[in-house]
Amino acid sequence: MAIIERYVGNPILTKDDVPYPVETVHNAGVTKHSERYVMLFRAHLRNGRSIIGKAESYDGFSFEVSPQPFLTPSDEAVFAEYEEYGVEDPRISQIDDQYLITYSAYSRHGVRIGLARTADFQQVERIALISAADMRNVVLFPTRFDGRYARLDRPHSHISPWSIWISWSPDLIHWGGSELIIKPEAYHWDQMKIGPGAPPLETPAGWLNIYHGVFETMSGGVYRLGVSLHDLADPGHVLGVADEWILSPQDPWEITGYVPNVVFCCGAVAEDDGTIKIYWGGADTVMCVGTTNQDLLIDLCLHHSRAPL
């Protein structure tokens, strides 16, 4: 039995659905707002740089794209300097009545993380750049822990395989207290590098962290998805990491495209009945969705696990 049931209507969004010129639609953050699903997707322009567009849906499967992009590289200090090469891979976390969006900001100085906020997905305001270079794949927990914000992040290193860390902040702007919590495992599907995917989902058993892992082959990296479970009160404490991947490139639009053999997740939505909708970019070209169940993912983390470090 598949852990994630692919939706029969995949891909759910392609460049043909976008009313302005783009070459790809992928790596989207998704959340629920006012009875609707809001998707912020990454799209390549024809100069090879990325912007972020918006689409909305009543059922989480059928999306309509807004006429204008949602976030394009800023022309205001200090953001302009660090977004010159594009904005990528948005993740959305709701904290109280605001939606916080983390995204990768690319420039000649490297890649770092931008933080923006919106209350209604109409107006969006940048808050700060919240990392130095080089950092990608930052997901905020949708709550505070003893007054502190927490995030999973993925610094780049020349010494150690790229791994998942946790960091803390009193104000969303200044981050520290970083600790390594999950490393790739040697000769395993995620041995080359891992990174956070969807913002963590709260369940009675802990936080579910859907992440990506890469295995290098003779024809490039294969991007797959995995899952880990983190203590509810102390999310740096990993309760289990599922040993096997939960999604691997399989459909034609996951195997071929802008970058072949990629499923890459930036968003998942937990429904009240325990169903989880997982969204992923296929081959950096299209958006796909599938469904799974929180109990199944929890069981994989607790009873079919490997060591986190």
Check the CA dihedral 256-25-38-40 and report its sign: positive
Span from 8-16, 169-177, 245-253, 257-265 in contact with ligand BMA (CB under 6 A): 257-265
Residue 262 CB, shortest distance to ligand BMA, in Å, is 5
- Cα dihedral sign for 58, 124, 120, 21? negative
Residues 154 and 164: their CA atoms lie apart, in Å, by 5
Nearest-approach distance from CB 105 to ligand BMA, in angstroms: 13
**Among residues 10, 27, 131, 167, the one that binds ligand BMA under rule CB under 6 A:** 27
Residue 261 interacts with ligand BMA (CB under 6 A): yes or no: no
Least spacing, CB of residue 270 vs ligand BMA, in Å: 23
Placement of tokens 């948005």 in the chain: 90
Nearest-CA neighbor of 155 among 106, 197, 207, 194?
Answer: 194
Would you count residue 88 as binding ligand BMA (CB under 6 A)? yes
Site string for ligand BMA, 29-68 (x = CB under 6 A): ----------------------------------------
Q: Where are the alpha helices (DSSP H) in the chain?
A: 79-83, 252-255, 294-303
Instruction: Using the minimum distance from each CB to ligand BMA, give the nearer residue, 42 or 277.
Output: 42
Single out the residue of 124, 127, 255, 259 in contact with ligand BMA (rule: CB under 6 A): 259
CB of 146 to ligand BMA, least distance (A): 33
Q: Which residue among 99, 141, 264, 279 contacts ligand BMA (CB under 6 A)?
A: 264
φ, ψ of residue 238 in degrees (nearest 5):
-85, 120
Any contact of residue 190 with ligand BMA (CB under 6 A)?
no
Q: Compute the distance between CA of residue 204 and CA of residue 199 in angstroms, rounded to an integer.
A: 16
Of all helices (H) and strands (E), which one includes residue 294?
helix 294-303
Q: For ligand BMA, which residue of 40, 262, 276, 289 counts as binding (CB under 6 A)?
A: 262
- Sort strands 220-230 and 286-293 into parallel, antiparallel or unpaired: unpaired
Residues 198-237 that bind ligand BMA (CB under 6 A): 223
Instruction: Using CB under 6 A, pick the residue from 284, 286, 289, 298 that binds ligand BMA.
Output: 284
DSSP, collapsed to helix, strand or coil, labels residue 253 as: helix
What region, left, alpha or beta, does residue 301 occupy, with left being phi > 0 and alpha being psi -120 to 50 degrees? alpha
User: Where along the sequence are the contacts to ligand BMA (CB under 6 A)?
Assistant: 27, 88-89, 223, 259, 262, 264, 281, 284
